[in-house]
């Protein structure tokens, strides 16, 4: 069950996408998400879909693995779709009892669904193909200019990388705790909503205790190595753009251009 959560996980393999500079991938994810909100019609989404499919293919990550993460947002997806489907005013399509499905509602609902699925898939490709360390480096570099405005960029990216780093660890821990409690007859899957919420206590208490313990251990280890924030810190492997990164930027911006032209201007 917990293995379905792929959020923030890194998938170890080798591919063009894996080798790209993390800054390219960060910008690409941002651009891709932006494009999803800019395009307004079917053709635009088709282009976004094709772009995404090509990225998945290039990344060598099995699509099954990427879409496994989708199960966890299934309810959110369903909820947005239902609300959009029934609550959008417009031309009536079907009507029964108090509910009316409108043509506009149907369009809105499917658009929202596609948008959400693409959004999650797009960002998971980034985390699946980039190690947390690389991601942090990229983040720090992309956000670099904000340092002038006294934004603690280094600290933010450090926090982000620690958070990402701990997702798989805590998941594994949760899995172990669940098993230990199931071995004592705990039931996490059946029962009423209240009972199920109650059954989470034996899971959450050990999990929180272990998370705090890990956080303290980590803080101690960082202090022992004289960590004192980003000032004057140098990198062992500084990020340098290579030819493939420049090509990737080219591809990315042409995608954005085509998506906007097709999605907003050509077909209204």
Partner 1 sequence: MSLILDHVNYIYDEDTAMAHAALIDVNLQIPDGQFIGLIGHTGSGKSTLIQHLNGLETPTSGSVYFNGKDISDPDFNKKELRSKVGLVFQYPEHQLFETDCFKDVCFGPKNLGLPQKEVELRAYEALKMVGFDDEYFYQSPFELSGGQKRRVAIAGVIAMKPDVLILDEPTAGLDPKGREDILGLIKRLHDEMGITVILVSHSMDDVADYVERIIVMNKGRVAFDDIPVNVFAHYKELEEIGLAAPQVTYVMQELAKAGFPVDAKATTMEQAKNEILKAFGRC
For partner 1, the binding residues (CB under 8 A) are 3, 11-13, 62, 64-65, 173, 176-177, 179-187, 201-202, 205-206, 209-210
Report, in Å, the least distance between residue 61 CB and partner 1. 8
Q: Could you tell me which of 248, 260, 2 has the C-alpha nearest to residue 126?
A: 248
Q: How far is CA 88 from the centre of its chain?
A: 28
Q: How far is the CB of 177 from partner 1 (least distance, A)?
A: 5
Nearer to partner 1, 187 or 217 (CB): 187
Gap between the Cα atoms of 197 and 169, Å rounded? 23
Pick the closer one to partner 1 by CB: 209 or 222.
Answer: 209
Place of tokens 């109650």: 198
In the complex, minimum distance from the CB of residue 204 to partner 1, in angstroms, rounded to a whole number: 8
To the nearest 10 degrees (0 to 180), the angle between helices 243-260 and 42-59 is 160
Beta carbon nearer to partner 1, 183 or 236: 183
Burial of 74 (0-12, 13-18, 19+ CB in 10 A): exposed
Tell me how far apart the alpha carbons of residues 112 and 223 are, in angstroms, rounded to a whole number.
46
Q: Could you tell me the smallest distance in angstroms from the CB atom of residue 9 to partner 1? A: 10
User: Quick one: how far is CA 32 from the chain centroid?
Assistant: 13
Please, what is the minimum distance in Å from the beta carbon of residue 19 to partner 1? 16
In the complex with partner 1, which residue's Cβ is closer, 3 or 147?
3
Determine which helix (DSSP H) or strand (DSSP E) holds 104, and give its type and residue range.
helix 103-129
CB 256 within 8 A of CB 35: yes
Output 12 or 147, the one with its CB closest to partner 1.
12
């Amino acid at each position: 069950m917990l293995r379905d959560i792929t959020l923030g996980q890194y998938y170890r393999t080798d591919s063009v996408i894996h080798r790209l500079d993390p800054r390219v991938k960060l910008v690409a994810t941002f651009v891709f998400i932006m494009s999803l909100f800019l395009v307004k019609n079917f053709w635009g989404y088709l282009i976004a879909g094709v772009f995404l499919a090509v990225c998945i293919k290039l990344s060598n990550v099995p699509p099954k693995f990427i879409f496994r993460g989708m199960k966890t947002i299934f309810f959110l997806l369903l909820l947005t779709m239902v609300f959009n489907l029934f609550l959008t005013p417009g031309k009536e399509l079907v009507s029964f009892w108090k509910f009316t499905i409108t043509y506009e509602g149907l369009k809105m609902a499917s658009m929202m669904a596609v948008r959400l699925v693409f959004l999650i898939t797009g960002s998971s490709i980034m985390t699946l193909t980039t190690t947390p360390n690389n991601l942090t480096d990229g983040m720090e570099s992309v956000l670099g200019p904000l340092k002038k405005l006294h934004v603690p960029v280094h600290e933010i990216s450090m926090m982000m990388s620690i958070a990402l780093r701990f997702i798989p660890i805590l998941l594994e821990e949760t899995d172990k705790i669940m098993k230990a409690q199931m071995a004592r007859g705990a039931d996490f899957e059946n029962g009423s909503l209240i009972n199920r919420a109650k059954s989470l206590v034996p899971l959450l208490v050990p999990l929180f205790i272990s998370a705090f313990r890990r956080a303290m251990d980590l803080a101690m280890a960082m202090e022992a190595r004289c960590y004192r924030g980003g000032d004057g810190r140098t990198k062992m492997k500084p990020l340098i753009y290579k030819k493939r990164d420049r090509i990737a930027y080219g591809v990315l911006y042409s995608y954005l251009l085509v998506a906007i032209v097709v999605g907003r201007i050509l077909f209204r």
